Structure 1
Amino acid sequence: MGVGTASGSAAIARVVIDSPLPQLDRLFDYRIPAAFAEDCVPGVRVRVPLRSAGRIADAYVVEVAASGEYEGALSEIEDVISVVPVLAPEVWNLARRLADRAAGVASDVLRLAIPKRQVRVEKAWLAAGRPAPTPSPITPVDAPDFVSGRLAEVVSGGERVAVDAVPRLVPVDSRTDGTTHWVGHWAVTMAAAASQTLAGERSAILAVPDYRDREQLLIALEAVLPAERIVRMDAQQSNPDRYRSILSCRGGTPLVIVGNRSALYAPAARLGLIAVWDDGDGLHSEPLSPHIHTRDAALLRQEQQDCALMFVSHARSSEVQRLVELGWLGVLATERVYLPKVIPTLSQDEVGPHTAAARIPSTAWKQMRQALDHGPVLVQVARPGYAPQLACESCRASARCSACEGPLAQRSASATPACQWCGALATSWSCRLCEGTRLRLVGQGSVRTAENLGRAFPGIKVIIADGDRVVTTVGAATALVVATRGAEPIADGGYRGVLLLDGDRMLARESLRVAEDCLRWWANAIALAAPGAPTVLVGVGGRIAAALATWRLADFARDELADRRRLRFPPAVRVATITGSPEAVERSVLAVESLRGVDVLGPVENPDGLRSIVRFDYGVGAEVASAMKAEIIRTATSRRKRVPPGKGSAGALPRLKARFDDTEPFAD
């Protein structure tokens, strides 16, 4: 193992080792034995020896060279695991750039991009290695309600645009059975863009946050494209199916790749379009290190492969708004303005008959009663379950778990209260302040709201849609649909009325992004209404209610970004959080605080030691990431000091973790 020239004429393989250790995050040179000369090509999996303790590690071949710079003897590649080049050059380049931007490890990104090897799938793919039939030509379609031909110009010209989605549902006829499905207009827009891309003999990557959005997009795609040109790639697939999808993308036929975060890492050498739906959704943020957001992966890959880029949404994220104001993104809007019928209702004091328990104002009551005469009505609530919070009946203090101090909640009227953190049942609970043993319900979740509405509207079918009860579609028949945010099913033809409850509770969440999150949740629910159907927003006023009532959502994003600039909050600046042992955090802060455009908040104590927040301008991001990566490697390779016998035990090793572009750096 080393960097350099091997004796003889054997070639050298430069490999990236599949390891999360930051000190191994570079390319290593190995001599290719004559037995592997044909199979050891860029992209294949190999096994290589490490010098420490005679260990063997898995790796990917990144490139093959005739010689290197190292003058000593090189170790040989131990084995070629598979002859299939699963690591495409464009995927490696993307992983390297993303890891460097976030002070992370490239192999962590590759682990998200390439699933574990599935031998049976691979053998079947190799056995069917005959030339693929020439695909039939694609007839491009245009997006309805946009300027004719404008979408084709965006795709063919490789433009970068923020697309203001039309807030309505449209019918789509299935090619296979002729069934009519209703999907969001945004899905039809993205499908039209994909057809334009395939017609130009280039591939498209379409990324969505969750399975509900994926199903809508697949329905829209299958209506305009052959099924064999559509590849699904997401976390819900089994390992064999996901590996099969990766292999199918390695062919030469242009495809449309649909999925969640991992779809951005699909191999696509002739990439013509990247489109991301609702980039403000928290599901676009990768929970695993190095925590790459779909939006950042899309931005870097677009720059790398020079393709068209579309961020589609009803309500723009502040990050997209910043790029629009910089001129880096253009804006693609419809020919005419769509103005949903939104009725903000700030006061909840006045209620209609039989609605006190349902917390519905009289205005909303009347609108909903009238809407139920024509079809289904959507009621959006903040939380699932029966009672999202419990309190002591005697002193009204919040009820906490006796095991972990987490909040207690109740999932149904007959269920035993349980902790929302650890799940422990509160069978013998007593208040820690007054020793009371009786609990009172605080707030109403989806189940309790459905019960109250069922009593208020006798004879009306009530449907619950939340994390425990997955409902993706409902018919056009009269029904009350109670759903948590993001779990709203689609009604045939759209809802005849939409009621947005718990607005004040949603806005009370401690978060830097709470306003834009609420705007996005409510805008997506409003888009499910039928044309002209009323939407009542309960308990919310001010500029967020005005933005929804006038549907000037871009103006709200502009004002939100201006506030962030004044306060020096993201995305006006970038942010990194440093967490670890005190000495490691202190060294890291010293390494970056002298850089231009950098300021540090903290440190403060947390369960992992200390935490500091580093704010920095975009222009110095590479310097901050490089300095932070050096400190992470230094900490990871540090050793305990020797302690003489009888002088105590050796101290703990220092720890250091950095997270760049944290979505909630200032939340409690």
Structure 2
Amino acid sequence: MDQPLPQLDRLFDYRIPEDLVGRVRPGCRVRVRFGRRKLSGHVIDLKRTSDFEGKLLWISDLVSPEPVLTGEVARLARAVADRYAGTLADVLRLAVPERRGRVEGEPRGEPRPVEAPAEAHWNRYIAGEAFLRALRARKAPKAVWNALPGEDWPARLAEAAAACAAEGRGAVLVVPDQADLDRLDAALAARLGPDRHVTLSAQLGPTKRYRAFLKAARGTVRVVAGTRAAAFAPVERLGLVAIWDDGDASHVDRHAPYPHAREVLLTRAGLADSACLVAGHARTPQAQLLVDAEWAIPITASRKEIRAAVPRIVPVGDDSDVARDPSGGTARLPTVAWEAAKAALDRDRPVLVQVPRRGYVPAVSCQRCRTRAVCPECSGPLRLTGAMRAPVCGWCGAAAGDYRCRECGSGRVRARVIGAERTAEELARAFGGVEVAESTGPERLDRSPPGRAVVVATPGVEPRAPEGYGAVLLLDAWALLTRADLTASEEALRRWMNAVALARPDGTAVVVADGGLAVVQALMRWDPAWFAARELAERSELGFPPAVRMAALSGPNGAPEKLAADLPADLGVEALGPIPVDECSERLLLRVRRRDGPALAGALARANAERAGAKADPVRVQVDPREIA
């Protein structure tokens, strides 16, 4: 039923009126009376008898006879709710889109045949062709694939989906965002043919999304691609689930119980006995754990293929580099990076410059004592929005024209972080006559300008160049590596690899970071597996995810500790914290052995249900939170 109360997270039995017998089917939507209200719900199963000893109520209305919740997705939703200490109702809101009655009246279609793909494009990778052959043989291989730079990964995913569809099986492909989905959509259309797949994303709008959802539920199409919610797509005879760039934060749902699309797909592969492909240029420690546990095989390229595909990668940032640089290390664009960009532009090739932050100057500090500059009104961080403009508060938006440092009284500020807008301004002066374009979240470019052009982009929104970039510059590496986050190095490598993958094989990539760092070494050697194994080993030694299971409890002061106190003592829960979030709330981390993760999630769900029934202060539970700092 459509109710979020954790104490009511179970199935309820209702009687079917005679006029609805034969029309009410598993998966359809109904309305039932619950207390003094009428609630919407889904029929999970039909039985002749009930174990309930009280008086059964009747189903009030049949909202729609369309079975939108398949048995396989219902089992998946229950498993995801249990894994993340959530409720079935919350997961079903993510899995089943809002109904559009007019769409249900549209004619049904028949699935169209799909031709099996050639395997030649996968022969660049060890075990690549074997993976595709296993799909065509209706087996269920599990693999972690690290794509080479310049690889047409949407086409490779389309080939894997075609291998399943050709044998009458379905495929679910999940990507981080709409730009990636547009590329995958085009690749699927080219490989499968028209009307053989659908896409699911919020940007489609309610009507188009529900139409695509019904095509999958009715079996009209066998292949579904989409963003994170597509992991629950009702595909018949599922043969493959795949996820691209599983380290992207967009794969984590922002609604309770906050599931990660990768974990949803891994759970689904286990329940449906389907193949699974975790793919990306980089590799996460979570994916490495699958390889170490021999649950998945690695699909990687040989060193010969890597040398042929990866551009020259040059680190600039250690003491010797600074000493050799004519600027003495004071220039934001080192000489090596400037020369690489100029060489590419001289050959009429575009240049990509990646910077971690958008805006002009997102953070400033006192020029004299280096104390962070804050708003005199609300103490929020000050920033600059343009040259010769007064600092502006990032919280309340107030201008601080009469700013004075609270420590030394100085009225002058200096940049702490340079944003994409200021970087573009500097590069336009450095390379006179060259077009300089920006690509940021609010204003993303689909493709780079042709020929001599410089593109300044923030991570994740770098546009592709038709023939690849002649040079890729990775600036302000320290801003990524010094973040107070467990995944700082992992995330930095993922962002760098995704950017360098857009370069030409004969191009140059310059990373402004110390070449002795392990993360920079992994980039230079293009060895994400080595770095992922190293990260996993360090986290296992220190007791951090994914080597252990963790849960974050957030709520009013004292509430998280009270909920943790209600957990069984034999779970061996280790509490970290609590730490204050603000004056009125706190956050508490719980850590258990990995094998005790399901027991911890179940105990948290029961404890939260008891607190809700007692009308105690609510506590937000996040199992395996992405950020634990």
- Is the helix fraction higher in 1 or 2? 2
Match of 1:90 among 65, 72, 79: 72
* Superposed counterparts of 1:303-452, under 5 Å: 303-334=270-301, 336-339=304-307, 340=310, 341-347=312-318, 349=322, 359-374=332-347, 375-393=349-367, 395-413=369-387, 417-426=391-400, 429-434=403-408, 437-452=411-426
Task: Report the counterpart of residue 17 of structure 2 in structure 1.
Answer: 33
> Aligned pair 1:45/2:29, yes or no?
yes
Aligned mates of 2:556, 2:478 — CA distance in 1? 39
1:630 aligned onto 2:611: no
| Deviation at residue 416 of structure 1 after TM alignment | 5.7
1:146 corresponds to 2:121? no
Deviation of residue 531 (structure 1)?
1.2
- 1:227 is paired with a residue whose SS is coil
Where does residue 547 of structure 1 map in the other structure? 522
Closer/same/farther in 2, CA of residues 220 and 425 from structure 1, 3 Å limit: farther
Contact 1:254 1:270 in 2 (8 A): no
**Inter-partner Cα distance in structure 1 for 2:171 and 2:17:** 39
| Paired letter, 1:397 | T
For residue 308 of structure 1, report the CA deviation from its aligned partner: 0.7
Please state how far the C-alpha of 1:533 moved relative to its aligned partner.
Answer: 0.8
Q: Distance in 1 between matches of 2:313 and 2:50?
A: 66
What secondary structure sits across from 2:102 in the alignment? helix
Q: Deviations along 1:161-207, whole A, 9 cap, x unmatched?
A: 00111111xxxxxxxxxxxxxxx422222111111111111111110
Match of 2:542 among 567, 587, 591: 567
How far did 1:551 drift? 1.4
Deviations 1:75-131 (A, max 9, x none): 1111111121111111111111110111101111111111111222223x2xx14xx
Letter in 2 for 1:371: A
What is the root-mean-square deviation in Å for CA atoms of aligned residues? Answer: 2.3
User: Which of 463, 466, 474 matches 2:437?
Assistant: 463
Paired residue total: 615
Counterpart amino acid of 1:81?
V
1:118 pairs, out of 84, 97, 100, with 100
Partner letter of residue 654 of structure 1? Answer: D
SS at match of 2:333: coil
Range with bigger deviation, 623-632 or 560-569: 623-632
**Any idea what the Cα deviations from partners look like across 1:617-664, whole Å, max 9, x if unmatched?**
22212221121111101111115xxxxxxxxxxxxx433221100011
Q: Distance in 1 between matches of 2:378 and 2:530?
A: 43
Q: What letter is aligned with 1:470?
A: R
Aligned to 1:165: 147
Which has the higher mean CA deviation after the structures are superposed, 67-76 or 351-360?
A: 351-360
Secondary structure at the aligned position of 2:14 is classed as strand
Once the two structures are TM-superposed, the CA of residue 414 in structure 1 deviates from its matched residue by: 6.2
CA contact (8 A) 1:503 1:540 kept: no
Cα separation, partners in 2 of 1:412 and 1:595, compared to 1, 3 Å: farther
Q: 1: distance between equivalents of 2:408 and 2:144?
A: 55
Q: State the identity as a percent.
A: 38
Between the aligned partners of 1:581 and 1:397, the Cα distance in structure 2 is: 32
Secondary structure of the 1:27 match is: coil
Which residue identity does 1:532 align to in structure 2? Answer: D
Contact 1:476 1:493 in 2 (8 A): no
State the distance in 1 between where 2:557 and 2:99 align: 41
Contact 1:350 1:361 in 2 (8 A): no
Query: Which of 478, 484, 496 pairs up with 1:510?
Result: 484
Q: What is the alpha-carbon distance in structure 2 between the residues aligned to residue 233 and residue 558 of structure 1?
A: 34
Distance verdict in 2 for CA 1:429–1:64, change over 3 Å: farther
Counterpart residue identity of residue 504, structure 1: W
Residues 522-561 of structure 1 correspond to what in structure 2 (within 5 A)? 522-541=496-515, 542-561=517-536
Compared with structure 1, are the counterparts of its residues 419 and 256 closer, same or farther at alpha carbon in structure 2 (3 Å cutoff)? farther
Task: Quote the offset at 1:153 in angstroms.
Answer: 2.5
Q: Distance in 2 between matches of 1:480 and 1:579?
A: 44
CA distance in 1, matches of 2:237, 2:385: 50
2:112 maps to 1:135: yes
State the TM-score, normalized to the length of structure 1.
Answer: 0.87
Shift of 1:433: 4.1
Q: How does 1:260-299 map to 2 (within 5 A)?
A: 260-299=227-266
Give the equivalent residue in structure 1 for 2:226. Answer: 259
Unaligned runs of 5+ in 2: none
State the shift of 1:71 in Å.
2.6
Alignment counterpart, residue 210 of structure 1, candidates 152, 166, 177:
177
Aligned 8 A contact 1:381 1:446 in 2 = yes
Contact 1:381 / 1:483 at 8 angstroms: preserved in 2?
A: yes
- What are the superposed Cα offsets for residues 365-414 of structure 1, whole Å, 9 maximum, x if unpaired? 22211111221011111111111212245544212234543312233336
Match of residue 63 from structure 1: 45
Q: What SS is found at the alignment partner of 2:385?
A: coil
- Report the equivalent of 2:190: 223
Equivalent of 2:207 in 235, 240, 259: 240
Matched, 1:661 2:605: no
The DSSP-based 3-state class of the residue aligned with 1:654 is: coil
Q: Is 1:483 the equivalent of 2:457?
A: yes
Structure 2 counterpart of 1:3: none
Q: How does 1:192-203 map to 2 (within 5 A)?
A: 192-203=159-170
**In 1, Cα distance between equivalents of 2:573 and 2:553:** 14
Is 1:475–1:492's contact at 8 Å kept on the other side of the alignment?
no
Deviates more, 1:603-612 or 1:382-391: 603-612
| Shift, 1:241, TM fit | 1.1
Query: How big is the shift at 1:351?
Result: 8.7
Within 5 A, what are the aligned runs for 1:64-83? Answer: 64-83=46-65
1:609 aligns with 2:572: no
SS in 2 for 1:80: strand
Q: Aligned partners of 1:133, 1:33: CA distance in 2, in Å?
A: 33
Instruction: Please give the alpha-carbon distance, in whole angstroms, between the structure 1 residues aligned to 2:188 and 2:117.
Output: 12
> Matched residue of 1:595: which SS?
helix
Task: Please give the TM-score of this superposition, normalised by the length of structure 2.
Answer: 0.93
Name the aligned partner's letter for residue 132 of structure 2. Answer: A
The 2-side partners of 1:338 and 1:508 are apart by 29
Does the CA-based 8 Å contact 1:154-1:160 persist in structure 2?
Answer: no
1:151 to partner: Cα distance: 3.3
Report the 3-state secondary structure (helix = DSSP H, G, I; strand = E; otherwise coil) of the residue aligned with 1:464. strand
Q: Distance in 2 between matches of 1:88 and 1:412?
A: 54
Cα–Cα, structure 1 residues 626 and 343, in superposed 2: closer, same or farther, change >3 Å? same
Q: Which amino acid aligns with 1:603?
A: P
2:96 and 2:174 map into 1 onto residues whose CA distance is 17
Amino acid at match of 2:10: R
Whole-Å separation in 2 of the counterparts to 1:569 and 1:133: 49
TM-superposed CA distance for 1:133, in Å, is 4.2
Cα offset, 1:590, TM superposition: 2.9
Match of 1:8 in 2: none
Distance 2:476 2:551 in 1: 33
Q: Secondary structure at the match of 1:558?
A: helix
